[in-house]
Amino acid sequence: MTPELFEKVDHYISGLFAVEDEALTNTISSLNEEGIPQISVSANQGKFLQVLVTLCNAKRILELGTLGGYSTIWMARALPQDGKLLTVELEPRHAAVAKKNLDFAGVGNKVQIVTGKATEILEELIAGKEDPFDLIFIDADKPPYAEYFELALQLSRKGTLIICDNVIREGKVLDETCKDESSQGAHRFNKMLSRNDKVTAIILPTVGVKEFDGIAISVVK
């Protein structure tokens, strides 16, 4: 088993179930054009998110980490016409690029982009008594993942699906002495999640074009 084989299998699956249209390929290209890191989810992961949105009949989605809007497009396309996706992005330049991509994809009317620090925005939503979300996707900076999750719980209801990406970090979470801050944040989050009695949760390891990682899936009790 080699990384090349995992990539081929990933491409095989995406060729069957997650074929990208012009809007999605343009979104990926826009990251290179704007000098934004190519750290979007893969096509298969985007389709997986879309399936989860459909599975839980989501009408309200919260996303932390917009980047260029790639995952946002996948999820927004699964929303009904009156659905809403609120996506939070720290960098205003990333948000501006995402807005263009979302409009080109035809989902801009369903998506609200908010720029700023995620913890502060979540706290504002909680203070403002925002209605609970049906699905929350966390794919932002890893060190405060545990804090993001605890705040996300306050914006949830029974049955809300909370998805957290990149929680295995190529296996670096196994090394408690690892100095990488993202791996440390993921390790701390994973421990917290395993002990959290407010959710039923599991981590699924992932391998493919995005190499080796994992995604945490939680359902609020």
Domains of the chain: 3-220 (3.40.50.150)
pLDDT tens digits along 15-59: 999 999 999 999 999 999 999 999 999 999 999 999 999 999 999
How many alpha carbons fall within 13 Å on the CB side of residue 204?
10
Q: How far apart are CA 62 and CA 49, in angstroms?
A: 12
pLDDT band at 2 (very low <50, low <70, confident <90, very high): confident
Residue 153 has what DSSP assignment?
H
pLDDT on residue 202: 98
User: Are the C-beta atoms of residues 186 and 173 closer than 8 Å to each other?
Assistant: yes
Q: How far apart are CA 105 and CA 77, in angstroms?
A: 9
- Tallying the residues shown for the chain, one arrives at 221
Which residues, at least 6 apart from 24, have a Cβ–Cβ distance to it below 8 Å?
43, 46, 70, 73, 74, 105
pLDDT tens digits along 155-190: 999 999 999 999 999 889 998 888 899 999 999 999
Q: How far apart are CA 133 and CA 85, in angstroms?
A: 9
User: Are the C-beta atoms of residues 201 and 218 closer than 8 Å to each other?
Assistant: yes
Backbone angles phi, psi at 154, to 5 degrees: -75, -10
pLDDT tens digits along 90-133: 999 999 999 999 999 999 999 999 999 999 999 999 999 999 99
Quick count: other Cβ atoms within 10 Å of Cβ 221?
11
- Output the pTM of the full model: 0.96
Q: How far apart are CA 93 and CA 31, in angstroms?
A: 11
